[in-house]
Amino acid sequence: MDYPFKNNVPDPLLSGDELPTFKFELEKSQGRVDGGSFGKEATVDQLPISKGIAGVSMRVEPGVTRELHWHATAAEWAFVLSGRCRTTVIDPQGNSEINDFDAGDVWYFPRGHGHSIECLGNEPCQFILIFDNGYFSEFGTFSITDWIGHTPPAVLAKNFGLPASAFANFPKQEVYFTHGAPPPEIAPLPHSGMLRSPSNTHRYRLMANAPYTTFRGGREWRVGADEFPISTTMTGVILDLDAGALRELHWHPTSDEWQYVISGQVQVTLFGSRGRYRIETLNAGDVGYIPQGYGHSIENLGDTTARVLIVFNTGHYQVIDLSQWLAGTPDYLLRDHFAQAENIIAQFPREDLFVVEKKST
């Protein structure tokens, strides 16, 4: 029997006679709730096919901060859906960066970089977090309150040069969402009194730029390591599909694909070899997942533009479109493969379509 391979390791989940579901209704899940703030995640626990990428939808209210923490086993790529927020981050060289983000902006934190996220202004902020490890859980991060709360007071006293009694009223458990006054509009200096910025910024203004590609049927914004050098393990895309448009059948040779529908309703197809084919309908707030190398397409089923956030677990995006493949193949091979007459093969596209717009009636 032929087995699909991921990094040369057989994946039993993808070796069956039928493809497993690749859809999860993220925004309908419960997650972790603190008043009007929440974190909802999609890992292999919720979506078993998604072994290469995990995702989180997070909403933070004014005066709330996702506390200081780091991720031991995953880098974090994020897209701000609404509102404003501020991040602080420190890297292994001791450089620190404080950035303010608006809707449409992106950040990237390499594995192990300590950071926090706080809401700015008087309106809640919501963002989508994507991690380059499908087994990673946002609720298993390394949080500062958890660490301090479980370290013996004598160790803390020696570490900080303070009496052990100074830590008597510190939290004993992870806080996760901290509560306080809204932060100042102008970010103050770090506790050290000095800001040393890293050579590569953690912030990229994706939607403030012109689309990477504009085509009949939609638009695409894309950012990877070439445009955003710190983002070495992930590439992000915002794909707008006009009503009825189809992101054509294609595959990605070097990465998995994680999808989050921002608006609209789309139909996603998945081809997994050996006659296995599956179709899922994704609505706003739903997540889709495509394993590396699997054929797929995305079609807008609605009457208005659909917007999809798509993230790949590679800093350097690669794709092969079906129309591109066939256009690069001699006609005699196409005739023999499909057992069709020359006049039928002559009608096939002679260039990469990428997106096919809805035909007018």
Q: Is 113 a catalytic residue?
A: no
Q: Is 202 a catalytic residue?
A: no
Q: How many CB atoms are closer than 10 A to CB 206?
A: 19
Q: Is 69 a catalytic residue?
A: yes
Torsion over CA: 151, 155, 157, 159 (sign): negative
pLDDT per residue as tens digits for the range 23-40: 999 999 999 999 999 999
User: Considering 71, 86, 113, 252, which one is annotated as catalytic?
Assistant: 71
User: Considering 59, 69, 86, 222, which one is annotated as catalytic?
Assistant: 69
Q: Is 76 a catalytic residue?
A: yes
Cα 56 from Cα 138, distance rounded (Å) = 7
User: Considering 61, 118, 138, 174, which one is annotated as catalytic?
Assistant: 138
Cα 108 from Cα 206, distance rounded (Å) = 12
DSSP 8-class letter at 171:
-
Average pLDDT over every residue of 233-246 = 98
- The domains of the chain, with CATH numbers, are 31-204 (2.60.120.10), 213-356 (2.60.120.10)
User: Considering 41, 76, 97, 220, which one is annotated as catalytic?
Assistant: 76
User: Considering 115, 202, 296, 307, which one is annotated as catalytic?
Assistant: 115
The band of 111, judged by pLDDT with boundaries at 50, 70 and 90, is very high
Coil, helix or strand at residue 67: strand
pLDDT per residue as tens digits for the range 156-188: 999 999 999 999 999 999 999 999 999 999 999
Q: Is 216 a catalytic residue?
A: no
Q: How far is CA 294 from CA 275, 277, 287, in A?
A: 12, 10, 17
Cα 96 from Cα 200, distance rounded (Å) = 11
Q: Is 150 a catalytic residue?
A: no
User: Considering 66, 113, 222, 296, which one is annotated as catalytic?
Assistant: 66
Say what the pTM is. Answer: 0.94
Task: Look at residue 151 and tell me whether its pLDDT is greater than 60.
Answer: yes
The band of 361, judged by pLDDT with boundaries at 50, 70 and 90, is low
